[in-house]
Amino acid sequence: MTAVVPTLSEPAIRPFAIPNYRRQWVADLSTSCAFEIETLALAWYVLVETGSVVLMAAIASLQFLGTLVSPLLGALCDRHGQRNTMLAMRLYYVTVAAVLLLFAHTDNLTPWLALGFATLSGVIRPSDMGMRNVVTSGIVPRSVMLPAIGLSRMTIDLARMGGALTGAALMATLGLAWAYAIVVALYATAAFFTASLRMDRPVWHADGATVFGQFQAALRSVRGAPAQTATMIMAFMVNFSAYPFVTGLLPYVAKERFGMDEYGLGMLIAVTATGSITSSILLSRIRLPSPARTMLCFSVVWHALIVAFALTKSLPLAFGIIYLAGVAQNLCMIPMAAFLLGNVAPSLRGSVIGLRSMAVYGLPLGLMVSGYVLNHGVAFWLLALVFAGIGISVTVIVWLKYRQHWRPASMA
């Protein structure tokens, strides 16, 4: 399960030579910044107002509630166009955030209303990253798909740095209403640049005559490829066992373990994102002979670093470990996305990625389980140890069961 040493590839900036990719990158960055400010603002607001770790975790969890509609959005993407689907999603974000801003501005917002708005956002939000990758696959040639996806994913990590620090500063100085004013402006910017994309009209396919037919074709594609099935399993597992510790549980770590305020939370998020940016840049400049081995190897590393993060009592050491966890995170997730998109027929990419998005359900499940356990007094380090043990065990089982299907030639 050791990763093969990568070799240098084309310049990292090659995808930016494509005008559509530049527009999409700006739209993705704006959306990611809005996501980060929104999540941090609502989670901190609920934690301060209620003091409940469970409700704080619920804010992050509810934003993934709509994962069940991801296959539907994927099928619509294949049938009605990638740009049109993405634009509709981002106009929806603008609308939900604008209504919440109205409630916050008039002092009518309550923690329960905040949970309701998180639920509304969660109807569409889980599909966003997958749809970004589908749009990328329709914009760039396959030869630069891995660096293009890596650079696209970097928008999430840049947003986790800037968005988290901005959100913390806005919450600490100006309050929730001003934070949401920025969120609305960012969503509107994303919608504008998405609308400016120039892409080919979708091609009609007989087996996609209905949305259900498109969904069935995607299921057949995944079931007929064991390596894709294994990748779906891995996607669910890392969302359940690893992601909660670098996303929704960080407010708990900041407040309860290190006694930090909003700025401290923003710093934790920013350091994690810096690690992810490091690996995104690395993957944009190298070619991986075996992305599957890289993905599986860094799944193990990622889980091990989470345990180390939970065990340390030194804040400087915690920052260093969470940085390395960010590096491992993207070295696991980006090869996973590139494999799925690079080995699926273009007419089914949206539908297959829609199925992949359902794996995100592992994250709210992991968040709710961990929030419940922590609320009942279980030590954070013990929780991390159990979750990491589950994640590493599944990774090893997937490798042993499907190793004959991980052919480097098919993963390039």
* Interval 251-310: pLDDT, tens: 888 888 888 876 787 788 888 888 888 888 887 777 766 777 888 899 999 999 999 999
Looking at residue 8, its pLDDT comes to 37
Residue 286: strand pairing partners? 8
CA pair distance 301, 182, nearest whole angstrom: 36
Q: Looking at per-residue confidence, does 92 or 206 come out higher?
A: 92
**What kind and span of H or E run contains 286?**
strand 286-287
Of these ranges, 76-80, 132-136, 386-390, 408-412, the one predicted with the greatest mean pLDDT is 386-390
Is residue 408's pLDDT more than 90? Answer: no
Tokens matching residue 377:
């007094």
User: Nearest 5°: CA angle at 360, between 66 and 349?
Assistant: 85
- Amino acid 3: pLDDT: 38
Cα gap 256→5, rounded to integer Å? 40
How many other C-beta atoms are found inside a 10 Å radius of the C-beta of residue 233? 17
**Residue 322, pLDDT above cutoff 50:** yes
Q: Which two tokens stand for residue 188?
A: 């509107």
Instruction: Read off the pLDDT of residues 95-115 as tens digits, 9 standing for 90 and up.
Output: 999 999 888 888 888 888 888
pLDDT, residue 175, reads 73
Average pLDDT over residues 343-351: 66
| Cα(397)–Cα(395) distance, integer angstroms | 5
> Sign of dihedral through CA atoms 139, 342, 301, 265?
positive
**159, two tokens:** 């947003």
Which of 15-19, 56-60, 340-344 has the lowest average pLDDT? 340-344
* Percent of the chain topping pLDDT 70: 77
- 330 band by pLDDT with thresholds 50, 70 and 90: confident
What lies within 8 Å, CB to CB, of 349 at 6+ separation is 78, 134, 137, 138, 341
Is the pLDDT at 327 greater than 70? The verdict is: yes
**pLDDT by residue (tens digit) across 137-188?**
778 777 777 778 878 878 887 877 776 666 666 666 677 788 888 899 999 9
The amino acid sitting at 213 is G
Res 213: pLDDT: 66
The separation between CA 235 and the C-alpha centre of its own chain, rounded to angstroms, equals 11
Supply the pLDDT for residue 270.
81
Residue closest to 268 by CA, chosen among 333, 323, 313, 311: 323
pLDDT exceeds 90 at position 91: yes
Per-residue pLDDT for 410 more than 60?
A: no
Which pLDDT belongs to residue 288?
67
**74 vs 15: which has the higher pLDDT:** 15
> Given this model, what pLDDT does residue 299 score?
93
Please give the C-alpha separations between residue 385 and each of 181, 212, 237, in angstroms, as whole numbers. 40, 41, 15
**How far apart, in whole angstroms, are the C-alpha atoms of residue 328 and residue 185?**
32
The dihedral through the CA atoms of 257, 261, 267, 268 has a sign that is positive
CA angle 391, 219, 88 (to 5 degrees): 90
**Per-residue pLDDT at 62:** 73
pLDDT of residue 365: 85
pLDDT at 64 over 50: yes
How would residue 52 be classed by pLDDT, with cut points 50, 70 and 90? confident
Residue 5 has pLDDT above 50, yes or no: no
Higher pLDDT, 10 or 75: 75
Helices (H), 109-175: 111-122, 128-139, 145-173
Question: How many angstroms separate the Cα of 409 from the Cα of each of 290, 338, 365?
Answer: 8, 14, 35
Q: What mean pLDDT comes out for the span 306-323? A: 91
Give tens-digit pLDDT for 25-38.
Answer: 999 999 988 888 88
pLDDT number for residue 386: 94
Q: What is the pLDDT of residues 153-162, one digit of tens each?
A: 788 878 777 7
Which of 89, 80, 95, 160 shows the shortest CA–CA distance to 130? 89
Beta strands 286-287 and 7-8, pairing class: antiparallel
pLDDT tens sequence across 178-230: 888 889 999 999 999 998 888 665 554 544 456 666 666 667 766 767 777 88
